[in-house]
């Protein structure tokens, strides 16, 4: 309980003067004496069995504990401008009201009662204004009831009552810094408007933590462990900077026009936040709730939130919603679901168990980073605008687009299907995309079965083993520029926009093997699927000069990769930091040029390189961790080492077997065989970050057999060698993998913009320079990476 020192001093002086003068002290307070009858107050009985009625303005205080003699009330204030000081004494009774002010009792202050107990209502305030402060109220029916307007309810402890802790029907009430716990009904319940509820501790009440009507302000409260909703409100409410956790229903449940800002909402039994139309949701941290992280109605604005590891969707929003600049990670049903005409823009959406983004008709999906989701990166219905997204390692599809859609300038990597379209989609425009590393098909046309599709698929960079196919009619779509080759920079940097580039990641695809041409396209038609009769009539090929574009883990360079350009042409590259990072430097031909946002190569006459590097934003948390082991028999003890950036000072681990920890570097023992995913949420006082390692720990039922007929995946240590490391260009180098731990896949970065997924690689370096080479080797349980800086020197 917070006590104002100046108020405490005044009370002590008043008591001293009253005792010194034998009853009353002018201007400092009047002691309430048994047997007194006058215009100021009457005291029937005594402190052990009495009743007090105050009829004159002034300050009054108890000199002993009071036990009520009447079931009507113990103390009643019947006039205005009264201050009733408990002086650390208690008031007890067996029914009725403990302390009550009538409607005539305006500006009544009731303060410093050590205990008020045994009443139907402990404090019943009906007059306007005044203050109820620093009282302890327990063991009553209702604790504090306020019916007037403008009253301040401050610093009280209203706990263990059989009805509401604080019940307000008046308006413009300030409810501040109270402790409201273990009440049978709600903690704070207001039915009036324009009330302010601030800095209260509202815990373990059997109904709602805080329930209020329209136009309230609910700020900086701790609301935990309540039997229904943490916060329940109506319209036009502002809810900010609260901690709302472990409530038995919703963390927050509201209606329309509600503003949520900078709240922490976690571990509630249903949705973290459930709200209606026109809500504004900004800067909230919503995690580990058993329903959706956020359910918002139509026209909601959802900006800069962190939603992770909720058991439903991270965000489920209605029509015309705007979802932007948020981190949505590790949610069990999926990342973001939004309705018709919604906008999903500039979000980081990773590691969700369903689709990363799922939108209805006429939605916009722009500039998102979407990776490692178990469904599609983006699933959309008719009329979608899907532009400039980075979609990586989504298990099912990079983009699953139904109906009319404009799909342009996206980077789609390492999914089963890069782009999945039914053949009844009409007016489709698919241009400027890079689709690479698809394990099944880059562009899959599915049989729709009830309509004839139409549209254009051209000027895409397709780097897959199988770049087009499916069960539907490929012939419904046009696979080259319908206007014929047109001057302009194509997706490969060439000077004409024509068909698609039909390559693969090893550089051995059809377009890769064609002779470079000054136009950047070929007049030799390319049959998209053998014996299908469907052709790209002006497929793209390499131009005469190459620019190698790379970046580190904190930056983006676009376009990315090894791209050929027309002799004497120009090419502009864009450099930008990834979310939570700052652009540090851009190097052109291995020379630093500073943190520039774009760079134009003019009148290209030779090969070039451009690389971007970044660094984490100071104070921005990026969650990382390491394990000392990932494989073994039960019981298996694993030591986890936090490696997070941004100086986090609090941590939340989920070990995948129902156990959690808040230790910085925990040690956990798995006792039941299985495969477990592990997540870490790291926070500092400003930001947070979340990382999840899927299938991080494998626990077997018995001792792992050794030796075993087939290699057992183990922790990988990457290693490699080269048959030569120096020489004149062109220099052919043979790289040999020596990694231990039985890797099953390999990713080489050869330093000059070229990559490979072969185990052992032969590569020709054609330009002078020093090239760093890295190898990442993987199996089902481990990943190892080795980089050798400036390993290859070409003279």
Q: Provide φ and ψ at 510, rounded to 5°.
A: -55, -50
Rounded-to-integer distance, Cα 411 and Cα 370, Å: 10
Q: What is the mean pLDDT of residues 366-393?
A: 96
pLDDT of residue 706: 46
- pLDDT-derived band at 603, boundaries 50, 70, 90: confident
Contact 182, 207 (CB under 8 A): no
| pLDDT of 366 strictly over 70 | yes
Share of the chain above pLDDT 70, in %: 95
Q: What is the pLDDT of residues 512-523, one digit of tens each?
A: 999 888 788 999
Q: What is the pLDDT of residues 83-103, one digit of tens each?
A: 999 999 999 999 999 999 999
Nearest CA-CA partner of 135 in 84, 191, 186: 84
Q: What is the mean pLDDT of residues 650-660?
A: 92
Rounded-to-integer distance, Cα 202 and Cα 24, Å: 39
Q: What 3 state SS string does 661-688 have? A: ECCCCCEEEECCCEEEEEEEEEECCCCE
pLDDT of residue 567: 63
Contact 332, 355 (CB under 8 A): no
Rounded-to-integer distance, Cα 257 and Cα 263, Å: 17
pLDDT of residue 704: 55
pLDDT of residue 563: 80
Q: What is the pLDDT of residues 708-765, one digit of tens each?
A: 445 667 788 888 888 888 888 888 888 999 888 888 888 889 998 888 888 898 888 8
| pLDDT of 707 strictly over 60 | no
| pLDDT of 217 strictly over 90 | yes
pLDDT of residue 794: 87
Q: What is the mean pLDDT of residues 348-368?
A: 97
Whole-number CA gyration radius for the chain: 35
pTM tops 0.75, yes or no: no
End-to-end CA distance of the chain: 76
Q: What is the pLDDT of residues 383-438, one digit of tens each?
A: 999 999 999 999 999 999 887 789 999 999 999 999 999 999 989 999 999 999 99
Q: What is the mean pLDDT of residues 236-249?
A: 98
The H or E element containing residue 17 is: helix 5-21
How does strand 238-240 pair with strand 259-261? parallel
- pLDDT-derived band at 17, boundaries 50, 70, 90: very low
| pLDDT of 188 strictly over 80 | yes
Contact 283, 302 (CB under 8 A): no
Contact 307, 336 (CB under 8 A): no
- pLDDT-derived band at 789, boundaries 50, 70, 90: confident
Q: What is the mean pLDDT of residues 270-296?
A: 97
Q: What is the pLDDT of residues 307-319, one digit of tens each?
A: 999 999 999 999 9
Tokens of 91: 């008031």
Tokens of 258: 């509600």
Residue given tokens 């949610």 in the structure block = 331
Nearest CA-CA partner of 605 in 569, 564, 655: 569
Tokens of 271: 């949705």
Strand partners, 625: 642
| pLDDT of 7 strictly over 50 | no
Angle at 430 between CA 491 and CA 753, to 5 degrees: 30
Contact 106, 148 (CB under 8 A): yes
Q: What is the pLDDT of residues 529-588, one digit of tens each?
A: 999 999 999 999 987 777 889 888 889 998 888 787 766 789 999 999 888 888 999 999
| pLDDT of 526 strictly over 60 | yes
The H or E element containing residue 776 is: strand 769-778
Count the Cβ atoms, other than its own, within 10 Å of residue 600: 8
User: Across the chain, what does the average pLDDT equal?
Assistant: 91
């Amino acid at each position: 309980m917070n006590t104002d020192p100046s108020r405490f001093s005044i009370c002590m002086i008043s008591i001293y003067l009253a005792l010194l003068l034998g009853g009353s002290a002018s201007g400092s307070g009047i002691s309430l004496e048994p047997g007194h009858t006058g215009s100021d107050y009457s005291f029937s009985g005594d402190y052990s069995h009495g009743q007090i009625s105050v009829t004159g303005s002034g300050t009054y205080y108890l000199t002993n504990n009071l036990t009520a003699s009447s079931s009507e009330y113990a103390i009643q204030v019947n006039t205005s401008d009264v201050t009733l000081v408990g002086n650390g004494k208690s008031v007890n009774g067996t029914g009725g009201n403990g302390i009550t002010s009538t409607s005539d009792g305006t500006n009544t202050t009731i303060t410093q009662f050590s205990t008020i107990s045994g009443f139907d209502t402990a404090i019943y305030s009906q007059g306007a204004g005044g203050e109820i402060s620093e009282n302890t109220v327990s063991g009553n029916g209702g604790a504090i009831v306020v019916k007037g307007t403008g009253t301040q309810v401050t610093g009280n402890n209203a706990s263990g009552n059989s009805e509401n802790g604080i019940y307000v029907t008046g308006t413009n009430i300030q409810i501040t810094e109270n402790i409201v716990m273990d009440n049978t009904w709600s903690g704070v319940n207001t039915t009036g408007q324009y009330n302010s509820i601030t800095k209260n501790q509202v815990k373990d009440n059997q109904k709602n933590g805080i329930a209020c009507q329209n136009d309230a302000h609910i700020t900086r409260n701790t609301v935990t462990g309540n039997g229904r909703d943490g916060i329940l409100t109506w319209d036009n409410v502002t809810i900010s900077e609260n901690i709302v956790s472990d409530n038995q229903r919703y963390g927050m449940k509201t209606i329309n026009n509600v503003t949520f800002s900078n709240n922490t909402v976690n571990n509630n039994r249903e949705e973290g936040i459930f709200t209606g139309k026109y809500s504004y949701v900004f800067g909230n941290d919503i995690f580990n709730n058993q329903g959706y992280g956020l359910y918002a109605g139509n026209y909601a604005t959802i900006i800069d939130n962190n939603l992770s590891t909720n058991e439903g969707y991270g965000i489920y929003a209605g029509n015309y919603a705007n979802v932007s600049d948020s981190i949505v990670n590790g949610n069990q049903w999926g990342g973001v679901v939004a309705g018709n005409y919604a906008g999903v823009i500039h979000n980081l959406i990773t590691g969700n168990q369903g689709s990363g983004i799922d939108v209805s008709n006429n939605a916009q999906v722009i500039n998102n980073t979407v990776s490692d989701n178990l469904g599609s990166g983006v699933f959309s219905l008719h009329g979608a605008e899907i532009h400039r997204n980075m979609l990586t390692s989504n298990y099912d599809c990079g983009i699953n687009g139904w109906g009319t859609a404009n799909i342009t300038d996206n980077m789609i990597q390492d999914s089963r299907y890069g782009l999945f379209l039914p053949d009844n989609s009409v007016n489709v425009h698919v241009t400027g995309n890079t689709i690479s590393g698809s394990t099944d098909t880059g562009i899959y046309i599915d049989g729709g079965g009830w309509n004839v599709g139409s549209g254009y698929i051209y000027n895409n960079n397709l780097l897959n083993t199988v770049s087009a196919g499916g069960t539907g009619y490929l012939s419904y779509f046009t696979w080259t520029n319908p206007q014929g080759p047109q001057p302009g920079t194509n997706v490969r940097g060439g000077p004409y926009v024509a068909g698609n580039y039909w390559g693969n990641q090893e550089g051995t695809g059809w377009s890769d093997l064609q002779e470079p041409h000054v136009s950047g396209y070929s007049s030799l038609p390319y049959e998209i699927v053998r014996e299908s009769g469907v052709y790209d009539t002006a497929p793209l090929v390499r131009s005469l000069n190459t620019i190698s574009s790379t970046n580190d883990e904190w930056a983006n360079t676009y376009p990315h990769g090894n791209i050929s350009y027309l002799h004497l042409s120009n090419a502009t590259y864009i450099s930008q930091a990834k979310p939570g990072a700052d652009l540090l430097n851009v190097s052109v031909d291995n020379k630093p040029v500073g943190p520039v946002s774009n760079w134009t190569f003019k009148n290209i006459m030779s090969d070039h390189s451009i690389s971007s590097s970044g660094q984490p934003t100071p104070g921005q948390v990026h969650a990382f961790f390491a394990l000392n082991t990932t494989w073994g028999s039960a019981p298996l003890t694993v030591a986890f080492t936090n490696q997070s950036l941004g100086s986090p000072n609090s941590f939340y681990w989920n070990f995948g077997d129902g156990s959690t920890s808040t230790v910085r570097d925990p040690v956990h023992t798995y006792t039941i065989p299985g495969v477990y995913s592990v997540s870490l949420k790291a926070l500092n006082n400003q930001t947070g970050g979340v990382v999840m390692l899927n299938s991080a720990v494998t626990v077997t039922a018995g001792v792992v057999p050794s030796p075993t007929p087939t290699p057992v995946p183990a922790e990988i240590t990457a290693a490699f060698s080269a048959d030569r490391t120096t020489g004149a260009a062109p220099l052919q180098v043979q790289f040999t993998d020596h990694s231990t731990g039985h890797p099953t896949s390999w990713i080489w970065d050869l330093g000059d913009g070229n990559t490979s997924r072969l185990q052992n690689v032969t590569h020709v370096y054609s330009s002078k320079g020093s090239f760093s080479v890295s190898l990442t080797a993987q199996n089902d349980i481990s990943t190892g990476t080795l980089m050798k800086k400036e390993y290859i020197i070409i003279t």
